[in-house]
Structure 1
Amino acid sequence: MTVTGVRAGARVLARGDGRGGTSLPVLEGGGPLALRRTRGSGAEAHVMVVGAMSGPLGGDRFAIEARVEDGARLRVGSAAATIALPGQRKGEARYDVRLDVADGGELRWLPEQLISANGSDLHVSTRVEVGPAGRLVLREEQVLGRVREDPGRLTSRLTVRVAGRALLDQELACGPGAPGGWDGPAVLAGHRAVGQLVVVRPEFAREPVAARMLGECAALTPLAGPAVLVSAVAGDALLLRRVLDEALGHLGG
């Protein structure tokens, strides 16, 4: 018997409703990627990704697309952590995220953690396009293994472009089969939670944010454009979230 894995996709489109709010003319998902609109705040629409099945498992292919048009504000979160698990099919699973923020649009992409369980093999790709006057807050958090468990193989690539110009393109590979040194002092230094925060705001082009350390294991770095990157490692998911939340607070939320 051949096991092909699950193919699932979800799409959301946020558009200004002409009354100072945000409408969602497209909100669709299937299989393990169910989308639910929740109570928003002010002009911002809120969407929750609800995992309807376990996964991604080996061989699965998941994809999410979100577009925020001029005048719209969207916040996307998830109801629970995503857990990459081994499956009946050997081989890599993929999770592709594509985000597009137009001029005058604002997106806050704040999912819960991605947990790489022992025996899993997942490649995550996140590509973001932001218009010259668009605004973005993006948080990524990865946890290597569950409690007292070795991690699976996890490869994560993040690309951010503003006004067609690449500001960030980085990849991190961890776990069995990853290039040597991923757990050494130059990368994770034995920590099991790693995350980053990307904030894009037009005002950063006029008033750049200075680089600085945010405690022992986190750093804020201005990018070559209207954006900053916060990178952090921590012993567990709770500590990592605390560090990233404090960093976002320093940047004005």
Structure 2
Amino acid sequence: MARGVTDAAAAPTAEVRPSDGTRATAEVRPQGGTRATGGVRAHARITAAPDARGGTALPELAGDGPIALRRVRAGAGEARVCLVGAMAGPLGGDRVRLDVRVEAGAALRVTSAAATLALPGTAGEPARYDVSLAVGDGAELHWLPEPLVSVRGSRLHATYRIDLAPTARLVFREEQVLGRTGEPPGRLVSRLTVRSGGRPLLDQATDYGPGAPAWDGPAVLADNRATGQLLVAAPGFAATPAKPHVLAPAQAALTPLPGPAALTTAVAPDALRLRTLLDEARTHTTAAYEAR
């Protein structure tokens, strides 16, 4: 087991298969956050920091409630964590929070083992899923979870707050699927707020599903039931800004942002097509992202 994991000495081990197909032995931390009538209250935390060997350690890896955290086999110089669902959710009334901090000089890749399903609950209130990502100078974060699926009858408010140091590097992918196959979606309200070097970089909100105005009209999603975005930020965009680009067949658009960064937004009939569009967008930003 690697050094510095919370409760590592007492934790059993298990083999998990994250979405990128790698296999590794991971620490398993007992989960709290039992579900009561009013819903789960859970707070999971990840901290990545440079180690003495030029790699990245995980001094804090604390899962809670529906979020179990598994360390998986790392690439050169980076740590990798897979999010694994420990219970159904988020359900109506749940309050789930995840804080991720990548300290200066560290590199972290976060994936998930499966899609997250927003489900109806008995509390009569929307569920909340709040994610905070902080990336220090010279640090790097790849946030690449599987899609969030809004199930019929569910109500979820999701927020993502990202704070980037001036020389931080970020690949942030967000994918939302409105309803499982053959079913209408629930209500999904989402907000993404990004600051770079203490200055606003991006602040946007979306609202989909029953009760949201015109969400399935021709100016928003029309007949599409999958939507997402890819935000890429890196110092290399200062010298080589991303060029505006429309991805055929006019379902996605790549837009340069000051900061420097590039944002791709996409809509698609299903999750597979959405992933293809976002992967294509990533190839258009590779050179500027990798420039040192």
Report the TM-score, using the length of structure 2 for normalisation. Answer: 0.84
Deviations along 1:44-103, whole A, 9 cap, x unmatched? 110001101001000001110000011100000111100000011111100000000000
1:204 aligns to what?
237
Percent identical among aligned pairs is: 60
1:48 aligns to what?
82
Gaps of 5+ in 2: 1-35
Distance 2:275 2:124 in 1: 32
Distance 1:223 1:230 in 2: 10
* 1:195 and 2:256 correspond: no
Correspondence 1:139-154 to 2 at 5 A: 139-154=173-188
Count of residue pairs the alignment pairs up:
251
Q: Which residue of 138, 141, 144 maps to 1:107?
A: 141
Distance 2:222 2:76 in 1: 42
1:8 aligns to what?
42
Task: For 1:159, give the aligned amino acid.
Answer: T
2:11 aligns to what?
none
Correspondence 1:164-243 to 2 at 5 A: 164-178=198-212, 180-215=213-248, 216-243=250-277
Task: For 1:47, give the aligned amino acid.
Answer: V
* 1:38 and 2:72 correspond: yes
Gaps of 5+ in 1: none
| Bigger shift: residues 98-107 or 200-209 | 200-209
2:6 aligns to what?
none
TM-fit CA distance, 1:18: 2.5
Alpha-carbon RMSD across the aligned residues, in angstroms, is 1.0
Correspondence 1:83-102 to 2 at 5 A: 83-102=117-136
Distance 1:210 1:186 in 2: 24
2:55 aligns to what?
21
TM-fit CA distance, 1:250: 2.2
Task: For 1:248, give the aligned amino acid.
Answer: R
More strand by share: 1
Q: Which runs of 4+ in 1 moved over 2 A?
A: none
* 1:135 and 2:169 correspond: yes
TM-fit CA distance, 1:190: 1.6
